[in-house]
Each structure stands twice: as structure tokens, then as C-alpha cells.
Amino acid sequence: MEEKNDDVQPPPAGKVVGIIFNCKRGTNQALPDAEAEYDSMDTVYAIRDVFADAGLQTVLLECDETLPQALQNTHIDIAFNIAEGRSGRGREAEAPALLNLLGIPFTGSDETALCIALDKALCKKLLSAYHIRTPRFRVISSDKDVRLGGLRVPVIVKPNAEGSSKGIPDACVASSEAEFKELVRRELRLYGGPVLAEEYIPGREFTVGLLGNGETLRVFPPMEIVFRGNTNGDYQVYSYGVKQAYTKYVRYECPARLDSKTEEKMIRTARRVYRALGCCDFARVDFRLTEDGTLYFIEINPLPGLAPGYSDYPMLAEFAGVSYRELVLSVLRAGMRRYGLETVQ
Ligand SMILES: Nc1ncnc2c1ncn2[C@@H]1O[C@H](COP(=O)(O)OP(=O)(O)OP(=O)(O)O)[C@@H](O)[C@H]1O
Ligand SMILES: [Mg+2]
């Protein structure tokens, strides 16, 4: 099912690439996962080194209140956007919207796709129009509305608009209504909400990487996140703690052991989600598969983590024979092509 593209050539030397990011500052000691979504400077430097090695000039730009001025004072040909933004469900739109306003090309999805993907409930509603199966859910925004409202336990409780398993602690799946209320109240207190309460889907977990656009969109073979046992009480969750100590709790299998029909369905669904949202250049889609073979879409990450040796997206690319360097350059080239900054070879 894999499709090849020819993005392995380095982009034209001499272009100036602005890397836009939010980096971990370590200022919130109370919540260990407060900056889970942000990148470490090691990741930013790894991306910069790839570009520098390919003969490109780079500028590092932090996505904060200095960004509008910095973009007006610095010439860049294209932005390589990995910024998570500051706050709220629209935070990932901050950099792309500003870049659009200033007429600066950028890699990755636009502000609309990023916003819809980050708001998990909104994304699920959109995908229901495409008949893509996702777990039943409720959004809870206030202490006054903490009820199951027809959901069947077990129910997983997570922030509606976060990633990197921020707000998904060790205790995140409720087996009873009382436990559910406790978990939702905790989540609202610590992370502010809205909270997404979703029926917990037991079964195997997979993630699928996409790279490129249109006819040359490439889907990497699905990677299974194989749990070594229960991780969160009686359940298996790729939670914050599990991701932090992943070697202890999970192993990765790529290509995943799947019959060809299921694999095709997973790849086709990932592709449909990517297109439904109008994603560009790259993304990662998470799935659960029940014992009876029912496939559930969990979420899409149009700004998948790029931490070398840690993030799932570079890992599954590596399994498909695409090195970190090739991957980062391919994302850049995909973006450049969309803007006509480079001729297709
Ligand atoms: N409905 C569900 N049923 C079973 N497990 C779930 C469900 N929703 C989430 N999970 C578990 O929790 C993990 C994290 O959930 P999710 O992918 O929604 O969060 P995230 O913070 O956006 O993750 P990412 O790091 O991919 O950005 C999943 O990988 C899966 O293990
Ligand atoms: Mg996920």
C-alpha cells in the first residue's frame, strides 16, 4: 500500500528557512506535563542541523509575542512550522495565521486544519460526516455538567485540546460513575477543560504516518504500539507516564502484524482523515483496533513530534527506511512545492 515519492533530494541550497517553534522552559513545576507539547531545543537544533547540512540558511524564531516583529525584520523564504502556540484550542493556528497574514510560505497544515485537529471533539464530529468510526464521547466544560450522559464505562478522560498525552495521567480511565466524576473534576481543576470523556476502546493500538500531498502523498506502513501489560490500572493507555518511560511499558512493531484487509483499511482511513481536514505535508493518525476487528480513529496529529529517537513519527519513517534527515527535508520540499518554490523533479 505504500506509495513512493521522490522527496529525498535536498531542497535548493541558499534558501532561508525560518524554524518556528515553542520550546520547553521548565517554568511550571507543579504540573510535570505542562509543557509536554513543546519541543526541547535539542529537537529544534536537530532540524536546524539537517537544513544547514543541506546548504540552507536557518533562522530560529520562537512563537511568542516577539514573532510578528521578528518575521517583519527577518527575511525568510519559507517557515518550517512546528510551533504549538501559546494557549487555547486555537493555539496551533497562531503561527500559520500570522504567516498567511504576512504572505510568508510555511510547511505543514494551515490554521484551519490545525485548529480542527486539536479540538478532538470538533474533529470527531467532522469525521462522522465521512462515516469514520470514532469512540462515543461527551465534552464537559464545567463542574456542573459532570455526568456520563449515556456513555458506557470504562471511559477515558482527557483534555479536549491537547497532545503529547498532556493531561492523560496514570489514572485516566474510569471503571465506574463515581471514578468518572472524580477523574473529570481532577482534569477540570488541573487543566481547566474542556474535558473529552470517551468510551475506552480495548484492543491493539496503531499509528500511521503520512508525508506529502496530492498524488505523491505517501503513507508509511502502520506501526503498532505493543503494550507489555496493563499500564494504567486495568487498562492499556499510551499516557504521559508511559511515553516518558516508553521502553519499560511498550515496544514498537513496524510494519505492524496485520492482515492485508485491515492494513489497507487503516491506511485508507488515515488518508481520508488527512484529506477531510485538508492537511498538508505531514501528519500522524492514531487508531485502536478491537478484537473483533473494528477500527476506531482516535485522533490526528498534523504537527507530529519530531524529536529524534523519541517521537513516533520519525520512528515509523525510520522503520520504512526514511532517515531523520530525509524526513525533515521531505517535509520542507513538500511545503516548497505547494508554493512553487521548487520545481518537481
Ligand atoms: N477512546 C480511547 N480508547 C482507548 N484508549 C484511548 C482512547 N483515547 C485515547 N486513548 C489512549 O490514550 C493515548 C493518548 O490519547 P490521544 O492520542 O488522544 O492523546 P494525545 O495527547 O493527543 O496524543 P499524542 O501524543 O499522539 O498527541 C492513546 O494513544 C491511547 O493509548
Ligand atoms: Mg495520540
pLDDT tens, residue by residue, 52-72:
999 999 999 999 999 999 999
pLDDT of residue 342: 74
Is pLDDT above 70 for 220?
Answer: yes
Share of the chain above pLDDT 90, in %: 80
Is pLDDT above 80 for 28?
Answer: no
Distance CA 279, CA 111 (A): 10
pLDDT of residue 1: 45
- ∠ CA 36-67-106, rounded to 5°: 80
Closest Cα to atom 27 of ligand 1: 163
Closest Cα to atom 25 of ligand 1: 164
**Residue bearing the bigger pLDDT, 27 or 88:** 88
Rg (CA), the chain: 20
pLDDT of residue 344: 39
Q: What is the CATH number of domain 16-132+201-222+258-338?
A: 3.30.470.20
Atom nearest to 199 CA in ligand 1: 1
Whether 205 lines ligand 1, by a CB cut-off of 6 Å, is yes
pLDDT of residue 266: 98
Closest Cα to atom 9 of ligand 1: 298
Is pLDDT above 90 for 124?
Answer: yes
Query: 275 Cβ partners below 8 Å, 6+ apart?
Result: none
Q: What is the CATH number of domain 137-199?
A: 3.30.1490
Task: Give me the residues paired with residue 174 across strands.
Answer: 155
For the chain, where are the E strands, in sequence order? Answer: 16-21, 57-62, 78-81, 137-140, 155-159, 173-174, 195-199, 204-211, 218-219, 223-227, 250-253, 282-289, 295-301
Distance CA 207, CA 224 (A): 7
pLDDT of residue 33: 81
Atom nearest to 304 CA in ligand 1: 27
257 CB-side CA count, 13 A: 4
Q: What is the mean pLDDT of residues 152-180?
A: 91
Closest Cα to atom 28 of ligand 1: 238
Q: What is the mean pLDDT of residues 163-175?
A: 85
**Residue bearing the bigger pLDDT, 92 or 1:** 92
- Binning pLDDT at 50, 70 and 90, where does residue 4 land? very low
Residue extents of the structural domains in the chain: 16-132+201-222+258-338, 137-199
pLDDT of residue 6: 47
Lowest mean pLDDT among 194-203, 230-239, 302-311: 230-239
Share of the chain above pLDDT 70, in %: 95
Distance from the alpha carbon of residue 287 to the mean position of ligand 2, in angstroms: 9
